[in-house]
Amino acid sequence: MITNLKFMALEKFTYDNKLAKNFAVATILWGVVGFLVGLIAALAILWPEVSMKLPFLTFGRLRPLHTNAAIFAFVGNSIFTGIYYSMPRLLKTPMFSQKLGKIHFWGWQLIIVLAAVTLMAGITTGKEYAELEWPIDILIAGIWVVFGWNMIATIIKRRVQHIYVAIWFYLATFVTVAVLHIVNSFELPISLFKSYSLYSGVQDALVQWWYGHNAVAFFLTTPVLGLMYYFLPKAANRPIYSYKLSIIHFWALIFLYIWAGPHHLLYSSIPDWTQALGVVFSVVLIAPSWGGMINGLLTLRGAWDKVRQDPVLKMFVVGVTSYGMSTFEGPLLSLKSVNAISHFTDWTIAHVHIGTLGWNGMMAFGMLYWLFPRFYKVKLYSTSLANTHFWLATLGMLFFAIPLYFAGFTQALMWKQFTPEGFLKYTNFLETYTQIRPMHMLRAVGGVMYLTGAGIMVYNLIKTAGAGKFVRFENDEAPAREVKPHGNETWHRRLERKPVLFTIWALVAILIGGIVEFVPMFLVKSNVPTISSVQPYTPLELEGRDIYIREGCYNCHSQMIRPFRSEVERYGEYSKSGEFIYDHPFQWGSRRTGPDLARIGVKTTKNYKPDSWHYEHLVNPQKTNIQSIMPPYPWLVENDMDIESIPKKIRAMQTLGVPYPKGYDEKAIDDLKKQAHEIASGLRASGIEVEDQKKIIALIAYMQRLGTDISKNAGSASK
């Protein structure tokens, strides 16, 4: 097409495919691991015996392991594969530094291994999708900078004049993820393996979901859109549908996304105005998101006959369509009336898996099927196996999601249903779970299908690699970039010549939303009205809370009673923002696989239980109800709590602003022992053999404290 190339002096250079290939192999490996852990988690909800009384196989630890593996290991490596392959070609230059690339690769794999080990060991910050403890957080920040440095340096030494839309998305990803990760990870370490979030309660929730939502936006969405803009037109050999649309949807997307975090906190204790911002910015996001989808799908105009034959394009089509579906559903879920039903149910899980299994998975698979024959200069080993994978993945996703939609809706309605006499129809929480259990079985079948498809891909790609020989270096040539006058280019075209300025503008765009939402929350007192009866946790309760976090209880139990008649009836007075001011971190949760625990300690609520019941239940939940799906925690009776760290923990809390009296750190251990002795004596009186210093005592103390502060006359049971 470009005929006058030959008149210009061409420079020769070489692309090194090694990094992209390594990342591709890591993508495949961690993909299979991530799906497998997901499947084990799905089975562990169905049959608690799957956990085999092993702490690291309980659902509370499997779920963070699965989400971290799927997001940061599988999708993360797939993004880096695509970036290291496409960027040099789009910029007509090798990567700036092969060595930085290597550090990035091995650093990222190290992070993944450390994440897996620590999460299984119960070392966690207790913040969803940001569970990794502070040393790993620092490592992530460092490796991320290495990645960004290499990327920006490569862009600067490019031979092309303008940067392409894929590169815009890569840049926005880099800056935004850096900002999100750093701001959300501010924590006060008390040891190598334990830290407390700098923020508490409502503020912690807001920062966390600003992060959580934008992890979806800037880790699972923008980089993958960048990949789409390279691999889809390449695979289809078609021009991008509309450059104008690229510009508008890019800027709109990154500017608007940042604001939408509070849609994860609708009807929670955050102020109404923050919730409203979350709602409206989510709704306005439909068009910018669909801009990406239509720019992808309409690029295929004129190539639909090819789509029918090529598994790569088929996967891209399902991927991009899933993207369109989840970005339509997301704004819908952000409407308060819909969220009142969907939140805390499987509806959310169904939603995220259309995004992850459909969009992220399919885009990654399509890319891998496109790349491997090019890495090895052979044809794909088997197109029909790739087609089989395509169908297994597509149907697996539907088998996964459709039952969960049904389950979410069913359970929400059961939670809300009253009898004509004004009583809750389903008083027992477990009833509402037993009802949707068959749906969870179907979900697991969907998971098996998806995993099988991935297995077939592994075989196909190994066969492909075996049939060829890895082509590490590829030569290319292009004229040097000379700074030419921009003539009468549009303002955006000019900006595309200035990648650093471009990055700065992107940074400005993504900072605005966060600042507008955070500053008032942190500075204006009326946003978190104080409640005078709310007191800091006792040392024993604090220890119990740490055990709650460590075991990952928040993965199944919420601590947020929404202001609905049905929830107040079931769980007690709805939660107030002032109740959480000493919660570093907050533990509101996102899915009620088990009942809410915000007021489990309040004696006037319907789910209050005595100490001895908590003991029996934690040791063996199936004893108190054969249908319970909660895993047993027998090690809580065997292991001692960490009494030595208590003074350090108290001092850390004081640093964070929790008003323990001066010098309390020295008295804390005595207080802890006294309270523990009281509880343990009570248990022994009812015939339970237990020692004062066992972990279970602390956890029971925490349970009995929950929610009691604002109902003082009801008191807490341990007093």
Partner 1 sequence: MSINEEKTNINQNDHEIDTLTNDRLIKDHSYDGIRELDNDLPPWWKWLFYITIIFAIIYMLGLWVFDWDSLYQEKEYNKEVAEAVKTAPKQQVQVELKVLTDASSLENGKATYDKICQVCHLLDGGGLVGPNFTDDYWIHGNSLEKMFAVVENGVIEKGMIPYKDQLPPTQRLEVISYIITLRGTIPASPKAPQGELLDWPY
465 by DSSP, 3-state: which?
helix
Q: What's phi and psi for 573, nearest 5 deg?
A: -45, 140
Closest CA to 220 of 129, 134, 297: 129
582, 534 contact by CB (below 8 A)? yes
Map the footprint of partner 1 across residues 471-490, applying CB under 8 A: 479, 481, 484, 486-489
Q: How far is CA 669 from CA 319, 545, 665, in A?
A: 56, 16, 8
Question: Shortest Cβ distance from residue 667 to partner 1 (Å)?
Answer: 29
**Of residues 243 and 391, the one with the C-beta less far from partner 1:** 243
As measured in angstroms, the least distance from the Cβ of 624 to ligand HEC is 9
Q: Could you say which residues in the range 179-208 bind partner 1, by CB under 8 A?
A: none
d(C-alpha 519, C-alpha 210), whole Å: 13
Distance CA 60, CA 587 (A): 13
Give me 673's structure tokens: 């022992």
Where is 479: in which H helix or E strand? Answer: strand 473-479
Tokens of 557: 């139990």
Q: Which helix (H) or strand (E) holds 389?
A: helix 383-416
Q: How far is the CB of 281 from partner 1 (least distance, A)?
A: 7
Least distance in Å: CB of 399 to ligand HEM? 10
Letter string b/e over residues 165-200, b meaning 16 or more CB atoms within 10 A of that residue's CB: bbbbbbbbbbbbbbbbbeebbebbebeeebbbbbbb
Q: Which of 445, 531 has the CB closer to ligand HEM?
A: 445
d(CA 142, CA 140): 5
Choice between 558 and 605, CB closer to ligand HEC: 605
The three-state DSSP-derived secondary structure of 683-697 is HHHCCCCCCCCEHHH
Reading the block at residue 426, the tokens are 């389903």
Site of tokens 């929610």: 707
Beta bridge partners of 479: 10
Site for ligand HEM in 60-79 (CB under 6 A): 63, 66-67, 70-71, 74-75
To ligand HEC, the closest distance from the beta carbon of 421 in angstroms equals 16
**Cβ at position 607, least distance to ligand HEC in Å:** 9
The only residue of 144, 168, 450, 548 in contact with ligand HEM, by rule CB under 6 A: 450
Q: Rule CB under 6 A: which of 334-393 touch ligand HEM? A: 348-349, 352-353, 356-357, 360-361
- For ligand HEC, the binding residues in 558-617 under the rule CB under 6 A are 609-610, 613
User: Which helix (DSSP H) or strand (DSSP E) does residue 522 occupy?
Assistant: helix 499-523
**Closest to ligand HEM by CB, 83 or 528:** 83
Q: Specify the residue, 469 or 565, whose C-beta has the smaller distance to partner 1.
A: 565
194 forms beta bridges with 191
Q: How many whole angstroms separate alpha carbon 692 and alpha carbon 404?
A: 43
Both tokens of residue 583?
């919660």
User: Which of 21, 63, 66, 92: binder of partner 1 (CB under 8 A)?
Assistant: 92
The reply to whether 682 sits near ligand HEC by the rule CB under 6 A is no
Of residues 655 and 686, the one with the C-beta less far from partner 1? 686
**Within 10 Å of residue 398's Cβ, how many Cβ atoms?**
15
Q: Which residues have CB under 8 Å from 309's CB, separation 6+?
A: none
Q: Which is nearer to ligand HEC, 129 or 608 (CB)?
A: 608
Residue with tokens 């420079």: 11
User: Contacts with partner 1: how many residues (CB under 8 A)?
Assistant: 92
Residue from 218, 608, 633, 702 binding partner 1 (CB under 8 A): 608
Q: What is the nearest approach in angstroms of partner 1 to the Cβ of residue 176?
A: 22
Please say which residue, 264 or 609, places its beta carbon nearer to ligand HEC: 609
Rounded to an integer, what distance in angstroms lies between the CA atom of residue 195 and that of residue 199?
Answer: 12
CB 639 within 8 A of CB 695: yes
Cβ(551)–Cβ(58) below 8 Å = yes
455 or 610: CB nearest ligand HEC: 610
Range list of H helices, 524-660: 539-550, 565-571, 611-619, 621-624, 635-638, 646-655
Please choose which of partner 1, ligand HEM, ligand HEC, none residue 35 contacts, taking the beta carbon within 5 to 8 angstroms, the exact cut-off set by kind: ligand HEM
352 contact choice in partner 1, ligand HEM, ligand HEC, none (CB below 5 to 8 Å, kind-dependent):
ligand HEM
Binding-site size for ligand HEC (CB under 6 A) equals: 3
- Least separation in angstroms between residue 537's CB and ligand HEC is 24
**φ, ψ (nearest 5 deg) of residue 716:** -105, 150
Fill in the per-residue mask, 609 to 628: x = in contact with ligand HEC (CB under 6 A), - = not in contact: xx--x---------------
Tell me the closest approach of the beta carbon of residue 610 to ligand HEC, in angstroms.
Answer: 6
The number of CA neighbours under 13 Å toward the Cβ of 637 is: 16
Q: Which residues pair with 195 in a beta bridge?
A: 189
- Give the x-and-dash track for 324-343 against ligand HEM (CB under 6 A): --------------------
Query: In the window 296-325, what residues touch partner 1 (CB under 8 A)?
Result: 298, 301-303
Q: Segment 596-615, which members bind ligand HEM (CB under 6 A)? A: none
- Residue 357 touches which member of ligand HEC, ligand HEM, partner 1, none, C-beta under 5-8 Å by kind: ligand HEM
Q: For residues 167 and 556, which CB has a smaller minimum distance to ligand HEM in the complex? A: 556
Examine residue 38 and tell whether it contacts ligand HEM (CB under 6 A): yes
| Residues shown for the chain | 719
Q: Which does 413 bind (CB under 5 to 8 A by kind): ligand HEC, partner 1, ligand HEM, none?
A: none
AA identity, residue 249: H
Minimum distance from CB of 428 to ligand HEC (Å)?
10
CB 83 to ligand HEC: min, Å: 56
| Shortest separation between residue 280's beta carbon and ligand HEM, angstroms | 23
Element (H, E) at 56: none
Could you tell which of ligand HEC, partner 1, ligand HEM, none binds residue 356, using a CB distance below 5 to 8 A set by kind?
A: ligand HEM
**Facing residues of 13 across strands?**
476
Shortest reach from residue 613's CB to ligand HEC, in Å: 5
| Contacted by 624, from partner 1, ligand HEC, ligand HEM, none: CB < 5 to 8 Å by type | partner 1
The answer to whether residue 591 forms part of the interface with ligand HEM (CB under 6 A) is yes
Give the residue, chosen from 10, 47, 191, 244, that forms a contact with partner 1 under the rule CB under 8 A.
Answer: 244
Binding mask of the shown chain, residues 267 to 296, with x at each position contacting partner 1 by CB under 8 A: x----xx-xxx-xxx-xx-xxx-xx--x--
Q: Does 314 bind ligand HEC (CB under 6 A)?
A: no
Cβ count within 10 A of residue 715 = 14
Among 18, 53, 102, 162, binds partner 1 (CB under 8 A): 162
By CB under 8 A, is residue 674 in contact with partner 1?
no
Chain center to CA of 285: 19
Q: How would you write 573-613 as a 3-class SS string?
A: CCCCHHHHCCCCCCCCCCECCCCCCCCCCCCCCCCCCCHHH
Q: Nearer Cβ to ligand HEC, position 158 or 609?
A: 609
Rg (CA), the chain: 27
Nearest-approach distance from CB 504 to partner 1, in angstroms = 22
Amino acid occupying residue 216? V
CA distance 318 to 583: 42
- Residues within the interface to ligand HEM (CB under 6 A): 35, 38-39, 41-42, 63, 66-67, 70-71, 74-75, 348-349, 352-353, 356-357, 360-361, 447, 450-451, 590-591, 593
- Residues within the interface to ligand HEC (CB under 6 A): 609-610, 613
